[in-house]
Amino acid sequence: MTESQDKNGARVQVGSKVRVVQIRPSVLAPLPEKDRQNVLSMKDEVFEVYEIDQWGGAWVEKWWYHSDGTAFSHSLGLSADEMEIAE
């Protein structure tokens, strides 16, 4: 699958800019508190879709950078009701 839809039925494909409007509790529940807070910070932010999976999930990623030069990221696979086109 190469495209998906957002909560309004708009077409989402690799390269689309989407706003995360919801993050499911089932995604957050197994995470340690620090990771949970980082993932929650993605809500209401805009990201570029880098992959559409076989189930139509649109994948986005956020990076955090530390002053010592290290970095880490989290990815989210978003279903239609969790995103909206931001372009």
Domain harbouring 76, CATH code: 2.30.30
* 72-84 tens-digit pLDDT: 999 999 999 999 9
pLDDT of residue 1: 61
Rounded to 5 degrees, φ, ψ at 30 are -80, -5
Structural domain boundaries, residue 76:
3-85
* CA dist., res. 26 & res. 66, Å (int): 28
Task: State the pLDDT at residue 60.
Answer: 98
Instruction: Report the domain count for the chain.
Output: 1
Query: Hunting for tokens 């929650």 — which residue is that?
Result: 40
What the block records as the tokens of 45 is: 């932010």
pTM over 0.85: yes
Provide the token pair at 24. 């499911």
* Residue segments in the chain with a per-residue pLDDT below the cut of 70: 1
Report pLDDT for 72.
93
| Amino acid 39: pLDDT | 94
Output the pLDDT for position 2.
Answer: 78
